[in-house]
């Protein structure tokens, strides 16, 4: 199987049904396939060869959809870039992957000259916009118009489908290598659960399309032959309007987004009755939010997906019916039909039920490995199981409760933030002597990036100054929302910062 | 993934829920797993080694379920024997496969002495019954009681799961080799369609369990964690009683079985409201049968699966919603989410829509090959596509219409018309010397009754006269819609009319 298979199926079964709706622009499967076949030809004419990496740095649109299809059609490999990353991080992902062609929309086009300087391997930049292509870039629509369609290379199976960069525990991002089979295993497994989708879905891309979570919604829509609806990026106004106008049936959100939608002042002026299923991930959903959401979206069922990029990304699911049990709302669900999930101790022996250990998963959705990182790959996949780095326990009914992220990762507003990355950035501020970054519970963001800072005795600074400094180095969402100054950090005998202790102080404050 | 994975998932998530219901005998997943682990140990103690074939010749029961799990648990290969075969055919399947251990129930135990003589490679016979094991056989329950459970070998992925013998077009049965991945691809693909199953299913094994069609129902029940209910073999009484008593939600039948159930005199004394989904295959469902069935089983949706053993077995599906369009009732549905399906000409080029050719399919569900038959395998799988041997065409919406499966039956407007009946009627016209009736593809009727007539040299007649004459003898819908006059019919050396050749002429005319 291969990522373009759904497009071929649509061509065979409903070529003239709407495949994409993007603002005023609507295209059928036949039109999409023609454009994809031409874009693939254009990529090959830009010397993209089998296995070459092609990146995209853009907001959501029907052109992102075409990119996801044209790259495998041309026998190449995807590299969807995190649009919220800093310049340095984006440069790293392009350089590390050896990307040769980059597609950029107007939102990010200004970055191009600097990216070119940073990544000499970048042979061509395609401007994905409606206006004139800036000098030195190639026009997307022009390429499609000029190129003659080629046959699909039908890249698939165990071959590399894409590199998906994730922030690393060590502070350096890693390129997660996922095959076509990996991505389709998660898609079929999640869909087979029966809790999401059906035929005739209209799926709204409300979360960013570079993200693996939205990619599963994309892939499920493809294999079942639904219609994709796009908003450029998440805004309450745009999402509510798109659901109402285009009779959206399914979407994927993170709990923070759901809260923002529910807080929209004009919420009840939008007809959300078409919504049948909301997938969410990244964190549990607070009960109050769920109750409000059920009222506002009366015909929608809620399904939680838990996993990570390395699991393409689905490991466990919490079904709509399970959402009616308040005790289960805090958990991440149970192993999906295609996945094996366990909780293990440091020796990789299975823990007794109820005992906290590391959550591990096995199955056809486990990544091929980290790009050019054989040691990290071997460590993560030791014994054939993907070690998530998440601490959790399993109850007697197989429900997985995540209690701690062993990798020191914070999930804020649906984004993964590794503490080490933030600490590295803060530490570069001249006033900082030591610092520790933790996630603290936050009603809006799920978790909030919080920095505990010890300043040098002779230099004064402020929380705002620390935040501003950090944002010059890493993505804005990774900068600490709150900064706390202290005289000393709790340190273990081995000299390690006792973050556990810092977190406890914060949960006690809340309690 | 592997066939025993669902059992492990059930053990983790709902170990004490009912897993099997067989008459008065009920077992939980925990009990099944314990018995399976012991039975697997017993098989190994009978010198079954990795990859060895273990056959079963028995009616449906919970022990068949245990067999399907214990064989892969012991790292061995299934060989479920067709219980409707003759002694010679059964002997062939055992000998050809090199089966070393055979499980037999009381229904077939009398065959054992002759089978032993025929198959010297048969090292052990296990008696799957409640009474005393006959001399020379090993007692099934005794083996389970005496053996200590072993760890699951977790045989899976691309390794051989089973040999499934099918009658061949050439007269010699062929052992279809299916891997774990093959079977699970069809299972996930069919389930992902959303048209069958959900969690909490109670699946009734009404069709024989040796058959690949029931095996998909079995596998879907396993991956989603449902309960298996068994009747030894199909009887209207037993099936209706099991549905009512055990609140069966899903089952697989063939249209003939559905008709038999509907004809049962006490039909309305059974409560069939629990039935949510009926899968069927082997042929289309006549409209009248479907309407009656919908009345008798008001909450059941109907889904057709089309495929063959070599496709594990799913290629296309007709969804419940599509059953409301009478024109689609005669077709086999459209490519399932995991499958690619085409209609090709003898050179393997895709036929234009509407033109009859051979139905071929590709995907992760395509068999590994025929056991010890490399040439037949290469022919069947030429170009990477499984050649079904079924003649059919695809319409503009991707629906596949099989026209050449039941060679001498025509399905026109949902009605079955037997060629012989029509030929008998036409032959009584005084001007007719010889005639042949075939079904030809027709956009309105699916197939149209078409007569090829040779007239006596001394009498003139017209197509209209033949039609009018025929209608005086048989129902109007059986009369030929088109009549073609010819000088001679193509005849085989044995004097048989070569209808195949006539049909080919018509498919060529259409192209």
Q: In 3-state terms, what secondary structure has residue B315?
A: strand
Nearest-CA residue of chain B relative to A321? B199
Residue with the two structure tokens 């454009």: A35
Domain ranges, residue A151 = 27-155
- Whether the link from the prior residue into A238 is cis, omega within 30° of 0, is no
pLDDT at B407 over 50: no
What is the rounded distance in angstroms from the CA atom of residue B119 to the CA atom of residue A204? 61
What is the rounded distance in angstroms from the CA atom of residue B52 to the CA atom of residue B54? 7
| Residue A494: band (very low, low, confident or very high) from pLDDT cuts 50, 70, 90 | low
pLDDT of residue B198: 65
pLDDT at B494 over 70: no
Taking an 8 Å cut-off on Cβ atoms, the answer to whether B397 and A199 are in contact is no
Task: Select from B196, B337, B341, B360 the residue whose CB has the most chain A CBs within 10 Å, as the one to mutate to test that interface.
Answer: B337
pLDDT in tens, A127-173: 998 888 999 999 999 999 999 999 999 999 999 999 999 875 556 78
pLDDT of residue B510: 45
**How close A165 gets to chain B, by Cα (Å)?**
27
| pLDDT average, residue stretch B452-456 | 89
What is the rounded distance in angstroms from the CA atom of residue A41 to the CA atom of residue A261? 41
| Residue A317: band (very low, low, confident or very high) from pLDDT cuts 50, 70, 90 | very high
Contact present, A463 and A431 (Cβ < 8 Å): no
Name the pairing type of β-strands B101-105 and B124-128: parallel
Nearest-CA residue of chain A relative to B158? A364
Residues with Cβ < 8 Å from B300, sequence gap 6 or more?
A: B272, B275, B276, B277, B278, B293, B294
When CB atoms are compared, the residue of B9, B187, B198 closest to A335 is B9
Which stretch of DSSP H or E encloses residue B316? strand B314-318
pLDDT of residue A496: 64
Residue with the two structure tokens 């003139």: B460
Positive/negative CA dihedral, A46, A51, A55, A59: positive
Taking an 8 Å cut-off on Cβ atoms, the answer to whether B14 and A398 are in contact is yes
Residue with the two structure tokens 């601490």: A391
pLDDT at B476 over 50: yes
Put simply, the chain B residues between 383 and 422 with a CB less than 8 A from any chain A CB are 394, 397-398
Give me the CATH number covering residue B64.
Answer: 3.40.50.980
pLDDT at B414 over 70: no
Name the pairing type of β-strands A334-335 and A314-318: antiparallel
pLDDT at A510 over 90: no
What is the rounded distance in angstroms from the CA atom of residue B499 to the CA atom of residue B435? 11
| pLDDT average, residue stretch A354-372 | 94
Domain boundary among the residues B127, B156, B185 is at: B156
Domain boundary among the residues B137, B156, B175 is at: B156
Tokens of A154: 């039908």
Q: Report the complex ipTM.
A: 0.80
pLDDT at B169 over 50: no
pLDDT in tens, A369-407: 999 999 999 999 999 999 998 888 999 999 999 876 666
Taking an 8 Å cut-off on Cβ atoms, the answer to whether B194 and A189 are in contact is no
Which stretch of DSSP H or E encloses residue A71? helix A62-73
Neighbours of B409 (CB within 10 A): 14
- How far, in whole angstroms, is CA B266 from its chain's centroid? 28
Average pLDDT, chain B: 89
Q: Is residue B210 part of a domain?
A: no
pLDDT at A2 over 70: yes
Give me the CATH number covering residue A459.
Answer: 3.30.300.30
| pLDDT average, residue stretch B332-342 | 92
What is the rounded distance in angstroms from the CA atom of residue A465 to the CA atom of residue A411? 23
Name the pairing type of β-strands B174-179 and B202-205: unpaired
| pLDDT average, residue stretch A430-458 | 88
- How far, in whole angstroms, is CA B57 from its chain's centroid? 18
| Residue B367: band (very low, low, confident or very high) from pLDDT cuts 50, 70, 90 | very high
Lowest mean per-residue pLDDT among A249-253, A256-260, B64-68: A256-260
What residues of chain B lie within 8 A of the CB of A341, using their CB? 12
Q: Is residue A241 part of a domain?
A: no
Alpha helices of B436-480 — where are they, by DSSP H? Answer: 463-471
What is the rounded distance in angstroms from the CA atom of residue A104 to the CA atom of residue A118? 16
| pLDDT average, residue stretch B27-39 | 97
Name the domain count of chain B. Answer: 2
Which stretch of DSSP H or E encloses residue A402? strand A400-405
- Whether the link from the prior residue into A312 is cis, omega within 30° of 0, is no
Q: Is residue A481 part of a domain?
A: yes
Domain boundary among the residues B133, B156, B179 is at: B156
Give the dihedral of Cα atoms A47, A50, A52, A57; nearest 10 deg: 80
Which one-letter DSSP state was computed for residue A342? E
Name the pairing type of β-strands A227-230 and A202-205: parallel
| pLDDT average, residue stretch B145-160 | 96
pLDDT in tens, A285-300: 878 888 889 899 989 9
What residues of chain B lie within 8 A of the CB of A197, using their CB? 194
Of the spans A313-317, B76-80, B133-137, B390-394, which averages the highest pLDDT? B76-80
Q: Is residue B352 part of a domain?
A: no
Q: Is residue A178 part of a domain?
A: no
Q: What is the DSSP string of A167-194?
A: --TTSS-EEEEEEHHHHHHHHHHHHHTS
pLDDT of residue B406: 42
Lowest mean per-residue pLDDT among B126-130, B287-291, B490-494: B490-494
Lowest mean per-residue pLDDT among A12-21, A168-177, B227-236: A168-177
Q: Is residue A52 part of a domain?
A: yes
Contact present, A457 and A434 (Cβ < 8 Å): no
pLDDT at B86 over 80: no
What is the CA angle A431-A166-A357, rounded to 5? 90
Name the pairing type of β-strands A227-230 and A250-253: unpaired
Taking an 8 Å cut-off on Cβ atoms, the answer to whether B335 and A9 are in contact is yes
Output the pTM of the full model: 0.80
Q: Is residue A442 part of a domain?
A: yes
Positive/negative CA dihedral, B468, B470, B476, B480: negative
Q: Among B141, B134, B133, B162, which residue's Cα sits nearest to residue B39?
A: B141
pLDDT at A86 over 90: no
Q: Is residue B151 part of a domain?
A: yes
- Report how far apart, in Å, the C-alpha atoms of B386 and of each of A155, B187, B315, B347, B361 are: 20, 18, 10, 14, 5
Nearest-CA residue of chain B relative to A12? B398
Tell me whether residue A148 is exposed, middle or buried, using C-beta atoms within 10 angstroms of its C-beta: 0 to 12, 13 to 18, 19 or more. exposed
pLDDT in tens, B279-310: 998 667 777 788 889 889 989 999 999 998 99
What is the rounded distance in angstroms from the CA atom of residue A204 to the CA atom of residue A221? 10
Of all residues in chain A, the percent with pLDDT exceeding 90 is: 68
Residues with Cβ < 8 Å from A418, sequence gap 6 or more?
A: A167, A168, A169, A171, A407, A408, A409, A410
What is the rounded distance in angstroms from the CA atom of residue A411 to the CA atom of residue A16? 41
What are the backbone dihedrals phi and psi of residue B480, each rounded to the nearest 5 degrees, phi first?
Answer: -65, 130
pLDDT of residue A170: 55
Taking an 8 Å cut-off on Cβ atoms, the answer to whether A191 and B189 are in contact is no
Which one-letter DSSP state was computed for residue B117? H
Of all residues in chain A, the percent with pLDDT exceeding 70 is: 96
Which one-letter DSSP state was computed for residue B481? S
| pLDDT average, residue stretch B434-444 | 83
What is the rounded distance in angstroms from the CA atom of residue B199 to the CA atom of residue B197? 7
Who has greater pLDDT, B415 or B125?
A: B125
| pLDDT average, residue stretch B443-451 | 83
Q: Among A79, A69, A57, A46, which residue's Cα sits nearest to residue A128?
A: A57
When CB atoms are compared, the residue of B5, B6, B13 closest to A334 is B13
């Amino acid at each position: 199987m291969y990522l373009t298979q759904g497009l071929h199926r649509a061509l065979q079964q409903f070529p003239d049904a709407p495949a994409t709706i993007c603002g005023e622009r609507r295209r059928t499967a036949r039109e999409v396939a023609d454009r994809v076949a031409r874009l693939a030809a254009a990529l090959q004419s830009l010397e993209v060869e089998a296995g070459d990496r092609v990146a995209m740095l853009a907001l959501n649109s029907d052109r992102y959809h075409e990119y996801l299809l044209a790259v495998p059609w041309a026998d190449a490999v995807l590299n969807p870039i995190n649009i919220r990353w800093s310049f340095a991080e984006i440069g790293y992902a392009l350089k590390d992957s050896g990307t040769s062609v980059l597609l950029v929309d107007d939102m990010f086009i200004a970055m191009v000259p600097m990216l070119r300087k940073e990544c000499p391997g970048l042979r061509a930049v395609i401007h994905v916009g409606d206006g004139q292509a800036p000098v030195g870039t190639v026009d997307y629509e022009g390429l499609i118009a000029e190129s003659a369609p080629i046959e699909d290379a039908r890249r698939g199976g165990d071959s590399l489908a894409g590199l998906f960069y994730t922030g690393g525990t060590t502070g350096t991002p890693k390129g997660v290598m996922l095959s076509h089979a990996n991505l389709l295993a998660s898609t079929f497994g999640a869909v087979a659960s029966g809790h999401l989708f059906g035929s005739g879905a209209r799926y709204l891309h409300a979360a960013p399309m570079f993200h693996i979570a939205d990619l599963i919604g994309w892939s499920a829509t493809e294999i079942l032959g639904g219609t994709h609806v796009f908003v450029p990026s998440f805004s309450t106004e745009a999402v509510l309007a798109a659901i109402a106008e285009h009779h959206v049936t399914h979407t994927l959100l993170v709990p923070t987004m759901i809260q923002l939608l529910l807080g929209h002042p004009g919420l009840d002026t939008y007809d959300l009755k078409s919504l049948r299923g909301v997938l969410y991930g990244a964190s549990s959903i607070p009960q109050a939010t769920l109750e409000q959401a059920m009222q506002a979206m009366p015909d929608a069922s809620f399904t939680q997906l838990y996993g990570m990029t390395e699991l393409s990304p689905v490991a466990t699911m919490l079904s709509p019916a399970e959402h009616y049990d308040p005790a289960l709302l805090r958990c991440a669900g149970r192993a999906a039909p295609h996945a094996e999930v366990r909780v293990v101790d440091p020796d990789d022996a299975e823990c007794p039920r109820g005992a906290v250990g590391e959550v591990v998963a096995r199955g056809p959705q486990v990544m091929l490995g980290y790009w050019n990182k054989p040691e990290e790959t071997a460590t993560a996949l030791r014994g054939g199981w993907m070690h998530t780095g998440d601490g959790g326990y399993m109850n007697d009914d197989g429900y997985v409760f995540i209690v701690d992220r062993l990798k020191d990762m914070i999930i804020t507003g649906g984004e993964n933030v590794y503490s080490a990355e933030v600490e590295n950035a803060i530490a570069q501020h001249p006033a900082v002597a030591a610092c520790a970054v933790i996630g603290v519970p936050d009603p809006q963001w799920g978790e909030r990036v919080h920095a505990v800072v010890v300043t040098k005795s002779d230099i004064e600074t402020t929380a705002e100054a620390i935040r501003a400094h950090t944002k010059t180095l890493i993505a804005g969402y990774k900068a600490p929302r709150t900064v706390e100054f202290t005289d000393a950090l709790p340190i273990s005998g081995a000299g390690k910062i006792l973050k556990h202790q810092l977190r406890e102080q914060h949960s006690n404050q809340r309690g």
